[in-house]
Amino acid sequence: MEEIFRFYLDSKTIFFHNSLSLKLSTVDDPKSGYGLFIDPSKFKNEELNNETIQLLRIPKLCTFNIDTLLTLLEDKNEFSTEQQFQRSNDKIKNSLREIMSYPNFSKFLTETNLLVIYFLIFQSIHDTCEIPRNIMYYLKNVLMSIDVETAVDSIEDIATDYGHYPQIFGLQETISIFKGLFQDLLKVSDIKHLYSAIISRCLEIPEKSEAKDDEFTVHSTLVPVLDFANHENTQKNAYFDVDPSNNDVLLLLNTDAVRESTTDSVEVFISYTPTEDLFSMLITYGFTPDFKGYPQFWTMSFDRCFLRDYTESSLNADLRLFYKWLHVNPTVSLVKHKHNGQARWFINDTTPEFDMLLLPFIPPLDDTRTPRWTYDSNCHLMFANMHCLANPETNEYATMIAENYRLLLEERELNGNDFMDIPQLAWSLHYKDAESGSLCRRHTDSEEATTVLQNQEEEEADATNSQFISFFRRFLTYRKSTLATSTSSIPNASNVIYEQEFEIIDDLLTAIDNQSTVFFSDLNIVLNVEPSVPPPLRFLGDHMEISENEEKSVPNCEDPASYIPDNFTDFFQDEMNKHASFFQDN
């Protein structure tokens, strides 16, 4: 690593402050490797009078993103001869054409993945084609030489227990496609290594738009030398930025870090992300920061078949169907924070997403014991009724239309996607009208329904939380048992993921069983960072998610005329108007 640092220092293309050096990092983690350091004694007085000091200036063309790679490849001066220029570019373009014709290519294409593709092409052709010197040096001496351990190395094993996490599912699909594209050109280990090296070193770098002076775009970018800077939110003393005049990337030191220093060597720390979501950091960077009082998060994704098989709720159908229809992401945010002198994990109940997660656990209405939610197993007839109203000319085919909707809803309910892409006409919410006090029913989405939860009496809120904790404890016990049977075959590089989750599960189970504080809101602390919300799970293929305990039966086709919508909603016409465009388009 010191040779790489010296290479860029001697190249004269990157500005280095003379206080800057490369040493073994002070971070207590062997994966942190080297880090950037400053010598405070080498700063001039006039520099100390400013808020920041420029430590690095990396010209745009010394960085690597899609824009700069294309610029370098199109510059004939980057090649020894015209023939080499033509040969390399023809080879790269032909490779890209083949890649773009690959099945599902467009579904996984992101700027970062495209950057990976270019470097995989470079790695596969560099023995026979010339590659611009700067690109080749970074590929050979940095990307292919650094030690990196992320979830990519053992993604097939990790997916066994974390395949219901959107990040893992997406990563597995991506690696599978890369293997299909390059398996005849590169070793699988090289494909995984290069992918890990790039995603762990990529930074989101803003760039001033040429079209509009006040607009910036953000690009996934590899930045030599800057990528030696380690992450530490509690000791952050520097940050990266761009010079809007030429889009040079800058590393700026907060001057206070120099003034307050009493040592002759200070490590430069930046923030890879303000939100320390430990699962995401393990997947992307292969490490988790030590807890030093700064809040840390873990997003726990509920096993979809566990939701389908959970039978202790008051619903007349399963939780998986409820969350799918109401577009509730089946995850819970957990936060690590210090309480009574001890670092502990809590359920982060301060987010709107958590309010939606609680919806199926709201207790029945008052003394009527009326369930808050009713699932209509014949809702395909509701769809057929609305379809025929929106399209009167189809009335004579009502029975066939109903059967088509039954098949459509069955496919949507059983596929692996977290969200249904059709109107929510399956679940009826029962509630009391705020003005009249009368009992009402309607089909509603999760955002509208959370207003009911927010207006509950304190006793109802306690009952809701209690029901959720009962469900959550069952899930934690189930999750621990499923993980315990699978960790023995997992490579050491990924054990930290399992160890981290075991720690979280044990901590929460102990708190629940001891009736200790479990909800973060009870601490009366305001979080200064928000957890990231993972996207819903969306399978690319025809994955069907069927419980082992579920016995399917095909109902007889019914006449929509016999169906009574008023049994499930008091606002049929309003809902018909709301969804008219869906039925007119179908």
Would you say the pTM of this structure is higher than 0.85?
A: yes
When pLDDT is cut at 50, 70 and 90, the band that residue 551 belongs to is low
- CA distances, 431 to each of 35, 426, 440, 464, 565 (Å): 59, 16, 5, 15, 17
Mean of pLDDT values over 458-481: 93
The DSSP secondary structure of 59-122, one letter per residue, reads -GGGSBSHHHHHHHHT-GGGSSSHHHHHHHHHHHHHHHHHHHTSTTHHHH--HHHHHHHHHHHH
Domain boundaries, the chain: 2-61+223-276, 64-201, 296-536+568-585
532 vs 332, residue with greater confidence: 332
When pLDDT is cut at 50, 70 and 90, the band that residue 216 belongs to is confident
Output the six-digit token pair for 494. Answer: 């990924």
In terms of DSSP bridges, do strands 248-254 and 52-58 run parallel, antiparallel, or are they unpaired?
Answer: antiparallel
Q: Is the pLDDT of residue 317 over 80?
A: yes
Please report how many Cα atoms fall inside a 13 Å half-sphere around the Cα of residue 499, on the Cβ side: 10
Q: Is the pLDDT of residue 409 over 90?
A: yes
The identity of residue 419, as a single letter, is F
| Alpha carbons 188 and 176: distance in angstroms, whole number | 10
What is the pLDDT at residue 150?
83
Domain 2-61+223-276 sits in CATH at 2.170.270
Residue 33, sorted as left (phi over 0), alpha (psi -120 to 50) or beta, turns out to be left
> How much of the chain, in percent, has pLDDT values that exceed 70?
94
> What tens digit of pLDDT does each residue of 111-127 get?
999 999 999 999 999 99
> What tens digit of pLDDT does each residue of 61-105 get?
999 999 999 999 999 999 999 999 999 999 999 999 999 888 777
| Alpha carbons 535 and 530: distance in angstroms, whole number | 15
Exposure class string for 367-378: b at 16+ Cβ within 10 A, else e: eeeebbbbbbeb
Nearest to 329 by CA among 338, 319, 343, 339: 319
- CA distances, 148 to each of 4, 145, 193 (Å): 17, 9, 7
Average pLDDT, the chain: 90
| Alpha carbons 190 and 318: distance in angstroms, whole number | 44
Is residue 291 within 8 Å of 336, Cβ to Cβ? yes
> What tens digit of pLDDT does each residue of 174-199 get?
999 999 999 899 999 999 999 999 99
Is residue 221 within 8 Å of 175, Cβ to Cβ? no
Q: Is the pLDDT of residue 31 over 80?
A: no
Output the six-digit token pair for 216. Answer: 């910036």
| Alpha carbons 365 and 520: distance in angstroms, whole number | 27
Output the six-digit token pair for 128. Answer: 């026979």
Angle (nearest 5°) at CA 506 between 501 and 507: 95
